Structure 1
Amino acid sequence: MSARRVTRWSRAFVAAGVAFFLATHLAIAAGLGRRTVVTVGLYGFVFHVIFGKAYALVPSFFDRELQTATPLPVHAALSVSGTIALALDSVGVTGRSWLGSAGGVLWALGVAVFLGTLSWSVRDNLSGAATGTGGANADRRLVDRRANAVVPVACSYLAVVALVRLLGPVGWPALTTPQVSHLLAAGTAALLVFGVGFRLFPRFLGTHPPQRSVPVVLVSGAVAPVALAVGLFDRRLLVLGGVVEAVAVVGFAVTYLVLFRRSERHRVGLWAVAFAVLAGVGGVALGLTIALVGRDPALVTAHYRTMLLGFLGLTVVGATFQFYPPSVGRWPLASDRTARVAVALLAAGLLGQGLGLLVDVSPVETLGQGVGVVGAGLYAWLVAAAFRSRTT
C-alpha cells in the first residue's frame, strides 16, 4: 500500500471539506434554511475532513497500517456526490423528489466503504488496546487506550446513521432529520473530537491531561447522544441528555484550556481550538436552555450554528492548521498572520451571529455572517496554498 496515495486522497477529502466550509458560510449569508446549512456544514465540511484524517491517523493510533488505499477514491466520489445531492434537495432547486433519497444512499455507501476499510485494517485490535504508544510517550499509554476505546462507539453512531440513510427510501428505520443530525454531530463528530483530541492536542501542546477528566469526558460523550436523539420527543430525556453532553463538552473545554494555559506552544491552530471549546460551552448552554424553556427559533438557530461552526468547525480549523501550517504556502498572504486573522474573523463572525439572533438585532447578525464568509475564504485560501506547495 502506497503511503503517498493515502496522503494524496486524505488531502483530497480535506480539500473537499474546506470547500464545503466556505459553502456553509455562504449558505448562511444567503439566508438558506437550517437543513441546507447542516447538510453542507456537517455532511460536507466536518465529515469530509474526518474521513480524510481518519484514513491517515486511525490505523496508526491502533498500532496498525491502512491495508489498502484502493477504496479511497470510490469513497470520495460517493461522499461528495451524495452531499451535493442532499444539499440540492434541501434547497429544492431541481424539483426532483428522488434526489434526496439518492444523495442519502450515496453518502451512506461512502460511509460503508469508510467503515469497512478502517475495520479491516484494525480487525485484530478493534478495542484499541494496542496504541502504538511507547518510548518518550510511554506515560501517555493509558490515556491513549481510553481515547481509542471511544472510536468504535463513534463509528457505531455513524453506522446507524448510514443505515437510516440507506434504508430511507423504504421508510425504515424511521428517525427524523434532527435525530439523525444529533447522532452524527454529538455521537460521531463530537465524540471523535474528545477521543482523538485527547491523543493529539496534549502532544501538540507538550502537556499531559489530568487522568481523572479523561474517562468522565469520554463516557459522558459516548452515552449522551442516545438521550439527545430520543429526547427530542421527551423533554425529560432531552434535559438529561443535555446535562450529560454538557458534562462532556465542559469537561473537555476545561481540560483543554488548562493545558493551553500551561503550555508555551500557542500556535494559531491551538488558539482556534481554544475558541472552539469556548463556543462549545456556549452551545451546550443554549441547548440546555432549549430543553428547559422550549424551541424558540432564535435559540435553535444560535445553538446549531454555535456547535456546528464553533465547537466542531473551529476545532477542525485548528487541527487543519496544525497538520498543514499556513506558513508553508507560497501564495500571497500565506502566513501565520493571515491565519490569525482568519481565526479571529471566524470567531468574531460566530459571536456576531449569536448576539444578533439572541437580542434580535438583524444588522449584527448580518455583519457576523459577512465576517464569517471572509474568514472562511481566508481559511480556504491558506489550506489550498499549503496543499499546492506540497505538490510542487
Structure 2
Amino acid sequence: MRYLASRLAIVSSLLFLILWILSSLMGTYALAIGDYGLAAFLARPAWSTDLPLLGFLGLMIFGIAEHFVPLFAGRELERPSLATVQVMVAIVSVGIALGLPRLLIVGRLLWFGAAALFAGLLFETLRSGRIVPRPGVHREGLLVIDRRAASMTAAGTAYLLVASSGFVLAAPGGRPLTPALAPYGASFLHLYTLGFVALSLFGVLFHLLPRFLEVVPPARWVTVLAALAISAPAGVALTIPYASTDHPLRFLLVGFAAIEGMVAVLFALLLFGLWRKSARRRPASLFFVLGGMWLVVGAGLGLYMGSSTGATLRGTTTQSWLTVLGFAGFEIFGITHEILLPYVGQGLRAWQVAARAHEGLATGGLLAVVTSSTLALAGFPRTSAVFAFVGFGLLLWMALSYTAGTFQTLAAISPPGGIARSGR
C-alpha cells in the first residue's frame, strides 16, 4: 500500500466489519431474550445501513480505489495528504452516526463531503490523459479491458455522489430533509449498492484479475457488461417506488431489474471463465467466483421482489445480506487476500490454509444467516434464531481471523513514510 489513506481506510473498514457482525449477533440475542429496547437501538438506520454500507463497504472501496486507480492509470494519486483527510472525514461521519443517533444527518453530511473529496481526487488523477499500457504489460486486449474498467469506476463514482446526496435529502430510514424525495429512499440505497459499490468493484476486478490469473476476458463481453451495468441502476432506482403497487408503469421496474439480472449472470460467467482457464489459480481466487454466484442469487431475488406484489418487504433483509456480504464482501475478501496475503509471513502454506478457512467460514456463515432470514419469514422464530447465532458466529470468527492476518501483513510492510506524503 503506497498511501497512508489506503491503509487507514482498509484498517477502519475491517474494524467496522467486525462491529457490524457483532451488532447483528447482539441484535439476535436481544430479540431472543426479549430485550426489545436494545434490539430497536441496533435496528436504527445508523447500525443497519450506515455501518455496513458506509463503514465497511464504502471505506474499503475508498482504500482500494485510492491505491489501484492511479496505479492502473499509470500515474500517481494527486494530493495524498488530502486523501488521508478524506478518509478521516469518512470515518468520523460513520462514528457520529453510530454514537450520536440524533446527529445522524450530520454524519451523512460529512459522508457526502468525504464522497465529494473522493470523487475530486479520482477525477483529478485521471483527467491528465487516456489510460496507456503499463510498462511490462504486453498481453493482447488488456488495454481495452483497462479502459472499460476505468469507465465503470468513473460511473460508480458518479453514482456515489448522487446516492450520498440522497442519504442527506431523502434520509432512508430517517426523517427526510426534502419530503418530496421520501418515496425514493430505497432508490438512493440501490444507487449506492448496485451503482457505486458494484461498478467500483467491477472496475477494480477487471483490472486486477487478468493480471492475477494471467487470462484476458473477451473484450466484447466486458464492453456489453459495462454498458448494461452503468445504465441499469438508474433505471431501477427511478422505478423502485412502483414496487408492491399496481402502478401501470411497474413493468418498467421489472424490465430494469431483469437487465440487472443479466449483468449479474454475465459478470459471474466472465469471472468463472477467468478462474477456469487460469493456470495460476490461488486459493483466494475462489472468493471471486463465489461473489459472482451470490450476486446472481441476489439479483434473482430482486427480480422476484419487483415482479411479485407484496414480496418486496419480505425479501429485503435476505437480499441485503446476499448483496452486501455475499457479493461485495466476498469480492473484497478476494481482493485483499490477493494483494495483502494475510498470514503469508508465516509461510505460503499458512496463507493457503487461511484462505480456504476464510472461504469456508464466510460461505457457511452467509448460508446460515440467509436460512435464518427465510425461516423467520416462514414463521419459525426459534429455529431462525439458532441459525442466526450459528451464522453470525461463523462470520465473526472469519472476520476476526481475516482482520488479524491483514493487520499482521500491513504491519510487516514498510511504512508509507515519504511515499505517502509525497505520492511518489
Q: Is the 8 A contact 2:340 2:406 kept in 1?
A: yes
In angstroms, what is the RMSD of aligned CA positions? 2.4
The question of 1:366 aligning with 2:389 is answered yes
3-state SS in 1 of match to 2:218: coil
Amino acid at match of 1:160: V
Q: Which deviations, in whole Å up to 9, do the C-alpha atoms of 1:306-362 show, x marking residues without a partner?
A: 10001000100110011100233459x963312321221111110111122224441
Q: 1:177/1:24 Cα in 2 relative to 1: closer, same or farther (>3 Å)?
A: farther
Q: Is the 8 A contact 1:195 1:218 kept in 2?
A: no
Superposed, 1:220-235 pairs within 5 Å as 220-234=228-242, 235=250
- Report the CA distance between 1:82 and its aligned residue: 0.5
Partner of 1:21: 17
Greater alpha carbon shift after TM alignment, 195-204 vs 32-41: 32-41
- Report the CA distance between 1:271 and its aligned residue: 1.2
Superposed, 1:1-392 pairs within 5 Å as 6-31=2-27, 32-33=42-43, 35=45, 36-88=47-99, 92=101, 96=102, 99-125=103-129, 128-130=130-132, 132=134, 135-165=137-167, 170-171=177-178, 174=181, 176-234=184-242, 235-293=250-308, 294-295=310-311, 297-329=313-345, 335-360=351-376, 361-362=383-384, 363-391=386-414
Amino acid at match of 1:122: L
Q: 1:191/1:131 Cα in 2 relative to 1: closer, same or farther (>3 Å)?
A: farther
- Report the CA distance between 1:222 and its aligned residue: 0.6
Q: Which deviations, in whole Å up to 9, do the C-alpha atoms of 1:196-217 show, x marking residues without a partner?
A: 2111112211111123321221
CA distance in 2, matches of 1:134, 1:214: 23
Deviation >6 Å, runs of 4+: none
Q: Is the 8 A contact 2:6 2:66 kept in 1?
A: yes
User: What is the number of equivalent residue pairs in this alignment?
Assistant: 378
Greater alpha carbon shift after TM alignment, 42-51 vs 257-266: 257-266
Q: Is the 8 A contact 2:62 2:87 kept in 1?
A: no
Greater alpha carbon shift after TM alignment, 172-181 vs 272-281: 172-181
TM, length-normalised to structure 2: 0.83
Q: Which runs of 5+ in 1 are unaligned?
A: none
Q: 1:111/1:161 Cα in 2 relative to 1: closer, same or farther (>3 Å)?
A: same
Q: Which runs of 5+ in 2 are unaligned?
A: 28-41, 171-175, 243-249, 377-382, 416-424
- Identity level (%): 28
- Report the CA distance between 1:158 and its aligned residue: 1.0
CA distance in 2, matches of 1:335, 1:382: 9
- Report the CA distance between 1:298 and its aligned residue: 4.4
Q: Is the 8 A contact 1:28 1:369 kept in 2?
A: yes
TM, length-normalised to structure 1: 0.89
Amino acid at match of 1:252: F
